[in-house]
């Protein structure tokens, strides 16, 4: 502790200087968000806004923030700003700075100045050493601000002076790839604003313990922001590409939609939909104006329903045995390791098993039923693992209380343990459904039907049930027919190059995303319902 | 606590190691075991325990316990931590059966019937001998479902949809049973307008009284309480103590506590367990606290150790 300034218990009113440092942080956050948006092409970084080219504008802002940062550091060192810096910014910060400076030095040496291997390595090491020394040796206020300000200033100036402009492109020697401005500029902005945010937050906190706290806070929050950015960016990316395809041709009005006949054991009822949504109500057809993915949607939904119906009762039953009846010991350990291993088994291995074991046993051709069972096998270990954990987490107090009332073990499990563990069980099912609904490989091997199914190929599982006078008495041909599923159709369209166009693929991807999210929503809603029941 | 034993004991006292394996009473205890068994009570003996030994693996948790507990009274079991008083309590309704490593020898008779005989009906035993635990442990269900849980699981009440279809509907019986049990547990006034709310929303003291009501709903003769107030604040504790005294008019109550004032306040007779799983002295509460015959019990109840 330098002890240069004595702390008052109550800090004085915010000074304009502090406000300046705070504004720098806010600035950095905005720039960071901008960088993320640019990375996902939500903002075109190479365009102009109000006559100013965007890269120049960003560069100018970065330079300005760097200047403010440097000025704050110097002002603090001169004693113009009341701060509480330590003698050094510390080894961790210095190591970070050395790493960043090493990379920048190496890039400038090899790419801009054209040095050979020895040359750029020497320059990189030199830059790293300078970055380390400049951070570690001066007092904390200078060590934090100046190296960061120099680096971000450099980045800002490069953008401002058009050294890295909209037409800039970089082809690294030895790599068959080109980094163009739309990628490079957001990345520069992201890194620079991250550094400015960290140093600015430290400055705002007056360095020292409080400054470090705020610096770490800024880093953590920018990190969270980037995770959210990736998530939102990905969704927005799929949505912007897929939505125009999905919504085309929607008409609303009585009788606008297609007819659907609902059949059950010979009874039939025909419904006319009041809305026509071609992309989700049509199959692929040469005659329809808009081709759709109805068979694949229905296939995916039935797959998930079948797999859940198969895996949940079996998995919960196994979990009851493991958590309530089996003695903790070698056997439960083996089962635990086995279920974990089964959960980590690659899906194509499950697919191969289904292909070799199930398909020949269900009539020799790929079918919906073998797909359901294969995905059910995949889901099973996760249901067992999470249900067992959830049951072990039920307090023994409940079991004691129930036993002391003379209630048998099985009744206790049924009416206390299982209800109390239900939210945990559902969490496992939600996670598992998210995985199996998007699986391609097992479907490819066990149930793949036409890659471009027409509406007539939609699996009619409910209507397929029929009674017969001889065993097995109830038959369902729909379960034994091949059908399509969304991830499989997507794979066929985009990767395997089977007809279709990319836009149709994006539409399919969006529908798949919505179907999976709908399963999530159902799962989360039921989990919330059971949690409420337990606690309210 | 046990390390202080030697300092406070008289010359004739045994070392703690010897106490652990002792099958005879220490020399400082003037009364003999036979006298305790024959201890004269006003009423009949509800519970009779003879030569009870409990082992957890190699650990000898209870040593040759013999005592009789009279009907319609409160019996307090006191002693320092780890002296076996909770183990003893859990022998009376065979809750120790749930611990795999526990081995129990000896005899426990309730109303003259041997609890530890083969083919004993645990459901019937635990219906007759209810238990309340240290931590309030209501189920994560509604207050009503908590109280009627026992009778419903025993098949004495049936309010399921199917049974209603089949013409058996115990909704009224359930309502009166719940009201009666909650009244007895002095909780009815506080919760009668929210019987469908989750029991976990009640305060700690209310939860404990709910657990007592849940235990009363199966219509027991004996109620075992394992430090029922140790997790509660003083006001909730006072309510539980009042309740214990009221319950003693109808039920035989055995209560474990490490709070000696509580034992003195609520109980008719007191049993003192000391380290090593020994029952050192058993008699009327006044006598135990004012004029104990054993030096070790005197040291314990006057706070010289433990």
Query: Is pLDDT above 60 for A120?
Result: yes
Q: Any CB–CB contact under 8 A between A403 and chain B?
A: yes
Considering only the beta carbons, identify the residue of B100, B124, B139 that sits closest to A398: B139
Contacts of A535 in chain B (CB under 8 A): 140, 198, 200-201
- State the nearest Cα–Cα gap between A523 and chain B, in angstroms: 21
Query: What's the rounded Cα separation, in Å, for the pair B126 and B108?
Result: 14
Per the DSSP assignment, residues forming a β-bridge with B253 are B74, B223
Specify whether the CB–CB gap between A222 and A29 falls below 8 A. yes
CB atoms within 10 A of CB A313: 11
Are B104 and B96 spatial neighbours (Cβ–Cβ below 8 Å)? yes
Is the ipTM higher than 0.85? The answer is: no
DSSP states of A277-312: -HHHH----SSSSS---HHHHHHHHHHHHHHHHHHH
**CATH homologous superfamily of B2-137+219-301:** P-loop containing nucleotide triphosphate hydrolases (3.40.50.300)
- Stretch (H or E) spanning B259: none
What does the pLDDT read at residue A393?
92
For residue range A481-530, what is the model confidence (pLDDT) as tens digits?
888 888 888 888 877 665 557 788 888 899 999 999 999 999 899 999 98
Indicate yes or no: CB of B198 within 8 angstroms of CB of A395.
no
pLDDT at B41: 52
Among B126, B133, B198, the residue with its CB nearest the CB of A406 is: B126
Domain residue ranges of chain B, discontinuous segments joined by +: 2-137+219-301, 139-201
Nearest CA in chain A to B136: A397
Q: Which helix (H) or strand (E) holds A454?
A: none
Q: Which backbone phi and psi does B215 adopt, to 5 degrees?
A: -75, -35
**Annotated domain spans of chain A:** 16-89+138-244, 295-535
* Among candidate residues A447, A268, A448, A276, the one with its CA nearest the CA of residue A373: A447
Reply yes or no on whether the pLDDT at A474 is more than 70: yes
Of A405, A419, A534, the CB nearest to B149: A405
Contact A402 B198 (CB under 8 A): no
Class of domain A295-535: mainly alpha
CB contact under 8 A, B127 and A404: no
- Spell out which residues of chain B touch residue A533, defining contact as CB-CB under 8 Å: 198
B215:A404 CB<8 A: yes
The number of angstroms, rounded, from the C-alpha of B78 to the middle of its chain's C-alpha atoms is 11
pLDDT in tens, chain B (306 residues): 344 434 333 333 334 444 433 334 444 444 444 444 445 555 567 899 988 999 988 888 888 888 889 888 999 999 888 888 899 999 999 988 888 788 899 999 998 888 888 888 888 899 999 999 999 999 999 999 999 999 988 888 877 778 777 777 788 888 899 999 999 898 999 998 999 999 999 999 999 999 999 999 999 999 999 999 888 889 989 999 999 999 998 999 999 998 888 999 999 999 999 887 888 889 899 888 888 888 888 888 888 765
List the single residue in A403, A416, A534 with the smallest CB-CB distance to B98: A403
Give the gap in angstroms from C-alpha B174 to the nearest C-alpha of chain A: 17
> Does the CB of B90 have a partner CB in chain A at under 8 Å?
no
What is the nearest CA distance from B154 to chain A, expressed in angstroms? 7
Q: Do B95 and A403 touch (CB under 8 A)?
A: yes
Q: Do A402 and B139 touch (CB under 8 A)?
A: yes
Predicted local distance difference test score (pLDDT) of residue B44: 63
Q: What is the chain B residue with the closest CA to A400?
A: B95
Facing A406 at nearest CB: one of B127, B197, B198: B127
Mean pLDDT of A90-115: 88
Q: Which residue has the tokens 């969304």?
A: A486
Predicted local distance difference test score (pLDDT) of residue A14: 61
Tell me which of B124, B135, B149 to substitute to probe the interface with A (most A C-beta atoms closer than 10 Å).
B149
The reply to whether A410 touches chain B by the CB within 8 Å rule is no
Tell me, yes or no, if A326 comes closer than 8 A to chain B by beta carbon.
no
Q: How far apart are the first and last CA of chain A?
A: 51
Nearest alpha carbon to residue A478 among A363, A388, A361, A327:
A363
A535, A510 contact by CB (below 8 A): no
- Check: CB of residue A439 under 8 Å from CB of residue A487: yes
Say if the Cβ atoms of B98 and A327 lie within 8 Å.
no
Alpha-helical regions (H) of A3-44: 16-39
Find residue A251's DSSP bridge partners: A276
**Rounded CA gap, B19 and B28, in Å?**
12
CB contact (8 A) between residue B126 and residue A403: yes
For tokens 């027919």, the residue is: A481
Residue with tokens 């989360």: A524
- The closest CB to that of A534, out of B93, B140, B215, belongs to B140
Q: Which two tokens stand for residue A490?
A: 């997507």
Which residues touch A487 (CB under 8 Å, ≥6 apart)?
A: A300, A437, A438, A439, A440, A443, A512
Which of A436, A435, A453 lies closest to A498 in space, CA to CA? A453
Spell out the residues 6+ positions from residue A419 whose beta carbon is closer than 8 angstroms to its own.
Answer: A530, A533, A534, B140
Using 50, 70 and 90 to split pLDDT, how confident is the model at A6?
low
> How many cross-chain Cβ pairs, A to B, lie less than 8 Å apart?
73
Q: What CA–CA distances, in Å, run from A374 to A104, A446, B218?
A: 51, 8, 48
Q: How far is A269 from chain B (nearest CA, A)?
A: 31
């Amino acid at each position: 502790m330098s002890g240069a300034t004595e702390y008052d218990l109550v800090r004085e009113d915010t000074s304009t200087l502090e406000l300046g440092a705070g504004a720098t942080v806010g600035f950095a956050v905005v720039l960071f968000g901008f960088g993320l948006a640019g990375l996902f092409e939500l903002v075109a970084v190479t365009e102009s806004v109000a006559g100013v080219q965007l890269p120049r504008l960003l560069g100018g802002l970065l330079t300005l923030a760097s200047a403010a940062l440097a000025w704050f550091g110097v002002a603090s060192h001169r004693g113009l700003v009341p701060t509480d810096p330590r003698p050094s910014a510390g080894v961790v910060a210095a190591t970070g700075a050395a790493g960043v400076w090493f990379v920048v030095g190496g890039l400038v040496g090899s790419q801009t100045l054209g040095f050979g291997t020895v040359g750029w390595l020497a320059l990189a090491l030199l830059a790293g050493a300078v970055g380390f020394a400049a951070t570690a040796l001066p007092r904390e206020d200078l060590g934090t601000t100046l190296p960061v300000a120099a680096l971000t200033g450099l980045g800002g100036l490069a953008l401002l002076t058009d050294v890295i402009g909209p037409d800039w492109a970089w082809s690294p020697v030895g790599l068959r790839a080109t980094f163009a401005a739309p990628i490079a500029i957001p990345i520069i902005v992201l890194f620079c604003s991250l550094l400015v945010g960290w140093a600015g937050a430290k400055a705002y906190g007056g360095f020292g313990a409080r400054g470090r706290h705020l610096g770490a806070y800024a880093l953590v929050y920018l990190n969270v922001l980037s995770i959210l950015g990736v998530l939102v960016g990905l969704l927005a990316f799929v949505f912007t590409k897929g939505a125009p395809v999905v919504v085309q041709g929607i008409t609303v009005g009585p009788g606008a939609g297609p007819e659907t006949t609902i059949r059950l054991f010979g009874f039939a009822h025909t419904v006319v939909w009041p809305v026509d949504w071609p992309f989700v109500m049509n199959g692929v057809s040469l005659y329809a104006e808009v081709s759709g993915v109805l068979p694949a949607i229905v296939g995916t939904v039935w797959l998930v329903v079948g797999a859940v119906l198969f895996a949940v009762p079996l998995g919960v039953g196994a979990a009851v045995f493991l958590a309530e009846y089996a003695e903790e010991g070698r056997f439960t350990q083996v089962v635990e390791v086995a279920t974990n291993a089964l959960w980590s088994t690659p899906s194509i291995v499950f697919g191969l098993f289904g292909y070799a074991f199930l398909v020949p046993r269900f009539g020799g051709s790929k079918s919906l039923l073998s797909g359901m069972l294969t995905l059910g096998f995949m889901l099973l270990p996760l249901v067992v693992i999470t249900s067992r954990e959830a049951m072990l987490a039920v307090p023994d107090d409940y079991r004691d209380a129930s036993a002391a009332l003379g209630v048998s073990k099985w009744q206790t499990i049924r009416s206390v343990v299982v209800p109390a563990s239900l939210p945990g069980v559902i969490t496992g099912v939600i996670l598992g459904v998210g995985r199996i609904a998007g699986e391609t490989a097992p479907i490819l091997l066990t149930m793949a039907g036409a890659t471009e199914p027409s509406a007539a190929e939609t699996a009619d599982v409910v209507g397929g049930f029929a009674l017969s006078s001889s065993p097995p008495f109830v038959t369902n041909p729909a379960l034994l027919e091949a059908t399509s599923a969304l991830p499989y159709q997507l794979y066929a369209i985009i990767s395997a190059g089977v007809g279709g166009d990319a836009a149709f693929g994006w539409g399919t991807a969006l529908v798949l995303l919505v179907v999976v999210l709908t399963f999530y929503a159902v799962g989360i809603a039921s989990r919330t319902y059971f949690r409420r029941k337990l606690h309210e | 606590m046990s390390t202080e034993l030697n300092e406070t004991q008289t010359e004739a006292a045994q070392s703690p190691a010897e106490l652990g394996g002792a099958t005879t009473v220490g020399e400082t205890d003037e009364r003999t075991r036979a006298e305790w068994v024959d201890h004269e009570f006003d009423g009949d003996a509800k519970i009779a325990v003879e030569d009870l030994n409990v082992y957890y693996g190699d650990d000898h948790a209870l040593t040759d316990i013999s005592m009789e507990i009279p009907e319609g009274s409160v019996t307090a079991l006191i002693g320092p931590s780890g002296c076996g008083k909770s183990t003893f309590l859990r022998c009376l309704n065979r809750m120790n059966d749930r611990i795999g490593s526990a081995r129990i020898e000896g005899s426990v008779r309730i109303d003259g019937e041997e609890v530890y005989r083969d083919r004993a009906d645990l459901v019937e035993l635990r219906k007759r001998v209810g238990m309340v635990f240290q931590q309030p442990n209501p189920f994560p269900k509604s207050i009503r479902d908590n109280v009627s849980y026992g009778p419903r699981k025993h098949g004495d009440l049936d309010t399921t949809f199917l049974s209603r279809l089949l013409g058996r509907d115990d909704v009224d019986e359930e309502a009166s049973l719940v009201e009666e049990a909650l009244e007895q547990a002095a909780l009815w006034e506080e919760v009668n307008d929210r019987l469908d709310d989750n029991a976990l929303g009640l305060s700690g003291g209310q939860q404990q009284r709910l657990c007592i009501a849940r235990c009363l709903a199966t219509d027991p003769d004996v109620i075992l309480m394992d430090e029922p107030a140790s997790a509660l604040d003083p006001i909730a504790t006072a309510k539980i103590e009042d309740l214990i005294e009221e319950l003693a008019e109808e039920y035989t109550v055995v209560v474990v506590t490490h709070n000696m004032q509580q034992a003195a306040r609520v109980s008719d007779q007191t049993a003192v367990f000391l380290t090593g799983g020994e029952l050192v002295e058993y008699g009327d509460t006044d006598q135990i606290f004012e004029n104990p015959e054993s030096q070790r019990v005197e040291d314990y109840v006057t706070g010289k150790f433990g």
